[in-house]
Amino acid sequence: MKILHVDTGKEWRGGQRQALLLHEGLLENSVESYLAGNESGKLIKKCKKNCIPYRYKGEINPVSIFNLKKIIDHVKPDIVHSHDAHSLTPSLILKYLGFKYKLVHTRRVDFHIKNGLMSRWKYNNKNTDSLVAISEAVKNILISDGIKRPVEKIYSGLDMSSVVKLSDNKKNDLRKKLGINPGDFIIGSVGNFVPHKDFATLIRAFRLVYDEKKNVKLLLVGEGELLNEMRKLAEDLNISDKIIFTGYAENVDELMNIMDLYAATSQEEGLNTSVIEAMMHGLPVVATKAGGLPELVKDDYNGYLCDIKDYTGVADKLTILLNDEEKTHRFSLNSFEISEKFEEAHVVEKYRNLYQKI
């Protein structure tokens, strides 16, 4: 069985991370797997084995279709697995042109499908052999958008054995490097600064938290189009010296070692692997009820759920945990327990079974 994964994204986000983890996991389980990633993207630079740069110029651009054809001619896969909406289109077109492979597509976002003919065609056609949603929330949106075909659900996952655990000395060194005082509590969040992640709600919530508890800082890890706007919001709220914006960071795993709580205030969210990673670090999570987040965060068990854009509610829940050491410890243990369900090995096994079935 030979699998070709295709992803067109230039950025390094959860979808690219999942494509690479699945590719590597299949190779470790003796499945012949190849990964075609955007030649200008971060994914292809991180791929170490059976990696093929894909010259992508747009989903219906003849150059993209021709270049994917060359890759498929070379690999001769039994299954093509498209990992983003833009890679699904050329993969489908080549099937219509007579290429004999099975096609799997994973839908990772909880956005509604656009009403255009192209979007509807991509998700409601007989040439996609299996459509996979990464959460129950994504699956329900596909169904509500009129997708008639069966939709599989396979959660995203991470390799728990690769989670970095720093010694106390290294934690202290990292905190010192970031200008964090020894007694400071750290609320952390990781993600791209894009509209649906809604970091503005978290920053406004933090302003209220800081009013109640002065020895607290907010650690925001990531880059994106709204980063400067969020810096300006922090300045306007007079808390810019209490918020650490790291920008893009390779050491996200290490940074989670110095967080005491984790927050995710998205307006839309397919699942959120950064929350899974935080849970693997045993962090209690305060999150909004967006998309798949309630499938990770169980209210009053490993964290709290708040209404979308409700920054006062987020602030209240963060403050409760900052002031209740016993509850924070209990939520921490529960977070780690839940995270075991999202171990990468389970994801690889489920996709392998799906490939064999089709």
Task: Give the other-Cβ count within 10 Å of 217's Cβ.
Answer: 22
Residues 140 and 225 in one domain: no
Structure confidence at residue 357 as a pLDDT band (50, 70, 90): very high
Residue 294 has pLDDT above 90, yes or no: yes
Residues 219 and 187 in one domain: yes
**What number is the average pLDDT over the span 169-178?**
95
pLDDT at residue number 31: 97
Nearest to 4 by CA among 14, 48, 26: 26
Q: Which residues, in sequence order, are bridge partners of residue 6?
A: 36, 82
The mean predicted confidence, pLDDT, of the chain is: 95
Instruction: Read off the pLDDT of residues 6-33 as tens digits, 9 standing for 90 and up.
Output: 999 999 999 999 999 999 999 999 999 9
* 158 and 280 Cβ atoms separated by less than 8 Å: yes
Domain span including residue 242: 161-341
Look at 110-114, 242-246, 343-347 and tell me which has the smallest mean pLDDT. Answer: 110-114
Q: What's 84's domain CATH number?
A: 3.40.50.2000
Residues 51 and 168 in one domain: no
Structure confidence at residue 122 as a pLDDT band (50, 70, 90): confident
* 71 and 52 Cβ atoms separated by less than 8 Å: yes
**What number is the average pLDDT over the span 137-155?**
93
Residue 301 has pLDDT above 90, yes or no: yes
Residues 260 and 130 in one domain: no
Task: Give the other-Cβ count within 10 Å of 184's Cβ.
Answer: 17
Residue 111 has pLDDT above 90, yes or no: no
Buried b (16+ CB within 10 A) or exposed e, 106-141: bbbbbeebeeeeeeeebbbeeebbbbbbbbebbbbb
Distance, in Å, from the CA atom of 4 to the CA atom of 8, rounded to the nearest integer, reads 13
Residues 267 and 332 in one domain: yes
Residue 125 has pLDDT above 90, yes or no: no
pLDDT at residue number 149: 84
Residues 45 and 171 in one domain: no
Share of the chain above pLDDT 70, in %: 100
Residues 311 and 195 in one domain: yes
Structure confidence at residue 174 as a pLDDT band (50, 70, 90): very high
Residues 276 and 332 in one domain: yes
Residues 111 and 236 in one domain: no
Tally the domains of the chain.
2
Share of the chain above pLDDT 90, in %: 91
Distance, in Å, from the CA atom of 225 to the CA atom of 107, rounded to the nearest integer, reads 23
Structure confidence at residue 325 as a pLDDT band (50, 70, 90): very high
Task: Give the other-Cβ count within 10 Å of 176's Cβ.
Answer: 11
Six-digit token string for 98 = 């007579």
Nearest to 260 by CA among 318, 186, 210: 186
Residues 227 and 263 in one domain: yes
Instruction: Read off the pLDDT of residues 201-258 as tens digits, 9 standing for 90 and up.
Output: 999 999 999 999 999 999 999 999 999 999 999 999 999 999 999 999 989 999 999 9
Residues 331 and 348 in one domain: no
List of residues 6+ apart from 134 with CB closer than 8 A: 18, 106, 107, 108, 153, 154, 155, 156, 270, 271, 292
List of residues 6+ apart from 172 with CB closer than 8 A: 182
Residues 6 and 124 in one domain: yes
**What number is the average pLDDT over the span 77-99?**
96
pLDDT at residue number 349: 97
pLDDT at residue number 115: 80
